[in-house]
Amino acid sequence: MSMHELFSPLPGTFYRRAEPGAPCFKEVGATVAEGEVIGLIEVMKQYTEVIADAAGVVADFLVEDGDMVEPGQVLVRIQQG
């Protein structure tokens, strides 16, 4: 098994859910397919989807809902294989 890291494409605020009170896109232990949305990054009220670029199981989130992130920062680890 290998671990895949998903990086932030841009700076901003990372959100694990589409809106307050909504369920998280993915939880630790959930299966994720390549191309699925796992979060959002907000920059000046513009939202960009964070898309899984590998399939597997969400091993852990390295940032919390509402955390500020930088480009290239690891957001999530996906266990493959």
pLDDT score at 81? 82
pLDDT score at 45? 94
CA distance 74 to 68: 12
17: left (phi over 0), alpha (psi -120 to 50) or beta: beta
pLDDT score at 1? 78
Domain range spanning residue 10?
A: 2-80
> In the 8-state DSSP scheme, what is residue 24?
B
Q: What is the pTM of this model?
A: 0.92
Q: Residue-wise pLDDT tens for the chain (81 aa)?
A: 799 999 999 999 999 999 989 999 999 999 999 999 999 999 999 999 999 999 999 999 999 999 999 999 999 999 998
CATH number, residue 64: 2.40.50.100
**Domain count across the chain:** 1
Q: How many residues does the chain have?
A: 81
